[in-house]
Structure 1
Amino acid sequence: FTAANVLRGDTAVFHYHDVADINLDKDWLIDVRTPEEYALGTISGAVNMPLDSLRARLAELPTDRNLYVFCQVGLRGYLASRILQQKGFTKVYNLSGGYKLFNTVMLDQSAEIPFNCYGEPAVEGEGEKLAVATAEPARSVRTIQIDATGLQCPGPILKLAEGIKQIDSGDELIIKATDPGFATDAVVWCERTGHKLDEMVAKSGTYTAKVRKGQPKAPVLAAAPGDDKNIIVFSGELDKAIAAFIIANGAASMGRRVTLFFTFWGLNILRKSEQVKVKKGFIEKMFGLMMPRGSRRLGLSNLNMGGMGAKMIRGVMKSKNVSSLEELLQIALQNGIRLVACQMTMEIMGIKAEELIDGVELGGVATMLGAAEQSDMSLFI
């Protein structure tokens, strides 16, 4: 959908190699990340206007200048560019790949070889000898390994949390898991708990994470949540799915980051309407036959009447110019709304990743909780 936005002309982009040609005397380079991210590093000359406060600061921006916006990877930059376009700014460009790609490429190009990096340092000669600070020898790093293969969510995360308690700050924990959702969950878990994910390797269906324990956090007052929105879609009924996507798209239109977490019957909303050939066991095949395949086959929670009620609702919605569920889903993808499918539930119900529509990511309970902690509202539908 990102490529489609560019092809349709919904948004314009610029690339990392175009940054050097931006004339900061005439044009604006806007970093829409948070002040904390901005403080850690930004593109030289960029002005920090966080996405969440962009609407309130529109008066600061000129309407006749080029506005180059960027975020970490491109999503928030896209949302910012759409907000600016809706407000009448016509010369808006989003950095493809965001600051992360720019920094990676430019860091590789500008890195200098440290002096005297080959061979042993010379101690003879006329130059002044540098004083070298001495310190107590560092203690050896302890490494423990945990095997969480075969466990489904939240098993691997629970094993990770249990193992991290057994080591000291600076020690390493290596954990292996076969749950695909663990690759996402581990990243979120480390971010929220203050530990460092040094490495995540996926090989032959096994995910190996190397986690370094961080320093214990001092007790602090509970931080106020952000203004993201988190919606757990449990139901697979048409009317409830429509409500979930209307709320999500409404929040996205206000510049909010939205996560839709689909679990159990809600997963059927994300299934492709056409049959996909995948290898399944007997029980998995039975589940697949009994569950609706895709959003077009969902029934109503009340007055379904063998499917007639759902058809009537769709007809009324069309006559009232209300977007269908399928249209709402596409709008959600275009708005950058995050669609997460519960990996554990997929395993239980025999739903394979190949059966899901494009744009869906897999995750587990830690992914959902991480989004919830950044939100000021969580809905269970």
Structure 2
Amino acid sequence: MKDGDILEVTATDLGFIRDIESWCKNTGNSLLEKEGAGEKYKAKILKGNKIIDEEITLPKRDIKLPSKKEKTMIIFDGDLDKDIASFIIATGAQTMGNKVHMFFTLWGLSILRKDRTENIKKDFMSKMFSMMLPKGSKKLKLSKMNFLGMGPKMIRNIMKKKGVKSLEDLIKKAIDMGVEITDCQMSMDIMGLKIEELIDGVKVGGVATMLEDNDNSNMNLFI
């Protein structure tokens, strides 16, 4: 779209009415109007702040974009529900023009493991640790109501019915959008994991990398 073009959006999500205003403020676009009732919510958005039609009157306000548009997330946990939330936040932030860094450490490493790998040479302790870790995102448990493995299957089924992307789709989407995903080298050594066992698109770094990203960010989440 060009500056001055108008986009009309229709959504079925009640939260859209509040979110679209925040999105416009954060991205430097102008919300012309919003309305909704029942199951349909509509908004008209002017790209940028350029008025090209005399009939359009924008509310008088100064749009001040954040001075820093970076977010850093440290993913320590290996629970399915928390990891889904992490990637929803990450892709949402990337959509709002942020550069997003996700730093995975300890139990969080399980999310990025391939479900199948060739035999990799390891010492005994490394083999033991890697065997105890879930092998990929499809093997993660819920933090609550796991029900001996039934809980994750139920929540995945509900997500599908509600049109929410699976964790696997969210991970792929995040990488495609440019979210920077880094695995902690020290944690990989402790857990006995090799770079060959991780999904494509993952980088390896350490605490210094995470701290530098944090210095450049205006938000840091530890999950």
The Cα shift of 1:275 comes to 2.7
The residue that corresponds to 1:243 in the other structure is: 85
Structural mapping, 1:88-167, within 5 Å = none
Q: SS of 1:376's equivalent? A: coil
d(CA) in 1 for partners of 2:29, 2:138:
42
> 1:238·1:299 contact (CA, 8 Å) conserved in 2?
yes
The residue that corresponds to 1:56 in the other structure is: 28
The residue that corresponds to 1:279 in the other structure is: 121
> 1:230·1:259 contact (CA, 8 Å) conserved in 2?
yes
Q: SS of 2:143's equivalent? A: coil
> 1:225·1:373 contact (CA, 8 Å) conserved in 2?
no
Say whether 1:366 aligns with 2:211.
Answer: no
User: 293, 300, 303: which one pairs with 2:145?
Assistant: 303
> 2:183·2:203 contact (CA, 8 Å) conserved in 1?
yes
Q: Is the alpha carbon distance of 1:374 and 1:225 closer, same or farther for their aligned partners in structure 2, counting shifts above 3 Å?
A: farther
User: 151, 157, 160: which one pairs with 1:315?
Assistant: 157
> 2:69·2:97 contact (CA, 8 Å) conserved in 1?
no
The Cα shift of 1:297 comes to 0.4
Q: Calculate the aligned-residue CA RMSD, in Å.
A: 2.0
The Cα shift of 1:306 comes to 1.4
The Cα shift of 1:276 comes to 2.9
Unpaired stretches in structure 2, ≥5 consecutive residues:
1-24, 31-46, 48-65
Superposed CA offset, 1:304-363 (max 9, x none) = 111110111101101111100001001101110000000000001100000000100000
Unpaired stretches in structure 1, ≥5 consecutive residues:
1-52, 59-86, 88-223
Moved over 4 A (4+): none
> 2:185·2:204 contact (CA, 8 Å) conserved in 1?
yes
> 2:91·2:174 contact (CA, 8 Å) conserved in 1?
yes
d(CA) in 2 for partners of 1:377, 1:277:
40
The residue that corresponds to 1:261 in the other structure is: 103
Superposed CA offset, 1:73-128 (max 9, x none) = xxxxxxxxxxxxxx6xxxxxxxxxxxxxxxxxxxxxxxxxxxxxxxxxxxxxxxxx
User: 70, 76, 99: which one pairs with 1:228?
Assistant: 70
> 1:288·1:350 contact (CA, 8 Å) conserved in 2?
yes
Q: SS of 2:28's equivalent? A: helix
Identity over the aligned pairs, expressed in percent?
A: 53
Superposed CA offset, 1:120-173 (max 9, x none) = xxxxxxxxxxxxxxxxxxxxxxxxxxxxxxxxxxxxxxxxxxxxxxxxxxxxxx
Structural mapping, 1:4-83, within 5 Å = 55-56=27-28
The Cα shift of 1:290 comes to 1.1
d(CA) in 2 for partners of 1:306, 1:225:
47
> 1:225·1:375 contact (CA, 8 Å) conserved in 2?
no
> 2:145·2:151 contact (CA, 8 Å) conserved in 1?
yes
> 2:26·2:96 contact (CA, 8 Å) conserved in 1?
no
d(CA) in 2 for partners of 1:260, 1:54:
21
